[in-house]
Structure formats: C-alpha cells, structure tokens
C-alpha cells in the first residue's frame, strides 16, 4: 500500500508540475502547493482502499449467508468500533458473544458485559469447570461510545495494542475478562467466521488520512500516528 502511494504520488507530481501552468511559463507550483496536491492525492487513494475493504467485508457476509440479525448488529456498532482505540474485530466479536449479536442485551449500552456498579442482573459464570447462574453487578454507560472507550481502557491497561487480533485475545486471557475458559477461542471464531479483520484494516487506513489543522490562520496538514 505505501509503495503504491509513493509511486502514484511521484507520477502525479511529474505530470502536474510541467503542465499545470503551461500557458504561463513564469508561473510554477510552489513547494507548499505541491505538498498540498500530494496530500490530497494520498487521501483520495486511502479512501479508495477503505471503500474496497468495506466492499470485501460485505461481500464476505453475503457469501457465508450471515443471518440478518448478525449483519444488523455489526452495522449498529461498526462506526463506534472503528472510531475508538479498541481493535474493531475484537470489540465487535466480544460484543457479539456478550449479547448474542444484540438479541439479549439487558444491560442497555454495556454490550461488553463489564462488571461494576449500575445494574444487577442474572448471568452465567464458570467456577471449577461448572456453569452457574448468579446475580452480578454490571456497569452502566450513558452512551454506546462510553462503553467502547471503557472497553479499550481495560484492555490497554493489560498491554493490548496494534493490529494483531491474536495479541489482543492473549491480553483478554491475561486480564481474566471472562470465567469461560473457551472465551478466547470464541472471540477468534467470530472474527474469522465473519471476516472482521477487514474492519481492522479500515481503522488502520482511516488513521493514515491527513487531517487539516488550523495554525496561525494558515491551513496545514498533520497525520495521525
């Protein structure tokens, strides 16, 4: 991807610099204008790649005949998953497991089953290899985005970072996120079955898009790192 962008940028510059002002030989693009054109082209190329990833994701759901309620649930939380620091594949897979793809979410915005003060309901936990139905306290979140931010904070505290979902699954095990000994396997299954890695790629691409920043009344570009 990076190599392709560099090649296209170079081709674009070589094309536009001699011809942009061909009718006025005394006028040429300034370094700032060339840089602006480079950034605009880079943004356009990245957005094209993002579009391709979305298309590939939806095509995969169609090819495996994903149930409508699963696709609806993904659509409902996809924007928040990509916008936060959580790895989208991990966040969506966990939310799917915790809520049965949104079908039995009794915790309002707490789609990750995060325990804390707020709501007391029945849940199922594993103790000494056996499942038990118990009452437990779960945290209340005013908005869905609040839940995503809290989810990312928990896993970040245990070293979850980057775009390797298996590393995140290891961190989930390390922090004892769930009592179910097969919880990590279930997360991985959901990710791979529904092609959620496409959403990780979209998040990475979006973080490469140059954004305009106002400084001293002059528009400049900076990049997300």
| Average pLDDT along the chain | 81
DSSP state of 115: B
Could you give the CA distance from residue 225 to residue 213 in angstroms, rounded to a whole number? 15
Q: Which domains does the chain have, with CATH numbers?
A: 1-66+200-225 (no CATH), 67-193 (1.10.530.10)
Judge contact between 44 and 4, C-beta under 8 A: no
**Token pair listed for 127:** 């103790």
Does residue 218 register a pLDDT over 50?
no
- The string of pLDDT tens digits covering residues 94-127 is 999 999 999 887 677 999 988 777 676 656 555 5
Does residue 78 register a pLDDT over 70?
yes
Select the more confidently predicted residue: 223 or 142: 142
Residues 6+ apart with CB under 8 A from 97: 183, 186, 187, 190
- The string of pLDDT tens digits covering residues 32-54 is 888 888 899 999 999 999 999 99
Q: What pLDDT was estimated at residue 33?
A: 84
Length of the chain: 225
Q: Quick one: what percent of the chain has pLDDT higher than 90?
A: 52
Could you give the CA distance from residue 102 to residue 44 in angstroms, rounded to a whole number? 35
Does residue 139 register a pLDDT over 50?
yes
DSSP string, 149-168: HHHHHHHHHTT--SS-HHHH
Q: What pLDDT was estimated at residue 62?
A: 97
Q: Which long-range contacts (CB under 8 A, 24 or more apart) does 73-80 make?
A: 73/99, 73/101, 73/102, 74/194, 76/102, 77/111, 77/144, 78/199, 80/144, 80/145, 80/148
Judge contact between 13 and 37, C-beta under 8 A: yes
Query: What pTM does this model have?
Result: 0.77
- The string of pLDDT tens digits covering residues 159-195 is 999 999 999 999 998 887 877 888 999 999 999 999 9
Does residue 12 register a pLDDT over 90?
no
Select the more confidently predicted residue: 202 or 215: 202
Could you give the CA distance from residue 112 to residue 153 in angstroms, rounded to a whole number? 13
Select the more confidently predicted residue: 70 or 14: 70
Select the more confidently predicted residue: 145 or 120: 145
Q: Bridge partners of 121?
A: 136
Q: Quick one: what percent of the chain has pLDDT higher than 70?
A: 73
């Amino acid at each position: 991807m990076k190599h392709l962008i560099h090649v296209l940028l170079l081709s674009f510059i070589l094309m536009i610099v001699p011809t942009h002002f061909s009718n006025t030989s005394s006028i040429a693009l300034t370094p700032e204008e060339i840089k602006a054109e480079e950034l605009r082209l880079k943004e356009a190329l990245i957005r094209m790649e993002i579009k391709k990833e979305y298309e590939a994701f939806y095509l995969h759901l169609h090819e495996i005949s994903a149930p409508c309620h699963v696709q609806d649930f993904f659509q409902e939380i996809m924007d928040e998953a990509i916008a936060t620091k959580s790895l989208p594949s991990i966040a969506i897979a966990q939310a799917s497991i915790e809520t049965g793809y949104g079908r039995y979410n009794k915790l309002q915005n707490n789609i990750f089953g995060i325990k804390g003060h707020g709501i007391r309901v029945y849940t199922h936990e594993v103790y000494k290899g056996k499942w038990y139905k118990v009452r437990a306290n779960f945290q209340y979140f005013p908005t869905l985005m609040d839940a995503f931010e809290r989810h990312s904070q928990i896993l970040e505290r245990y070293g979850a970072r980057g775009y390797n979902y298996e590393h995140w699954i290891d961190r989930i095990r390390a922090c004892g996120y769930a009592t179910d000994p097969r919880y990590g396997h279930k997360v991985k299954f959901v990710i791979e079955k529904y092609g959620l890695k496409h959403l990780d790629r979209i998040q990475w691409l979006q973080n490469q898009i140059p954004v305009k920043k106002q400084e001293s009344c002059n528009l400049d570009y900076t990049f997300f790192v």
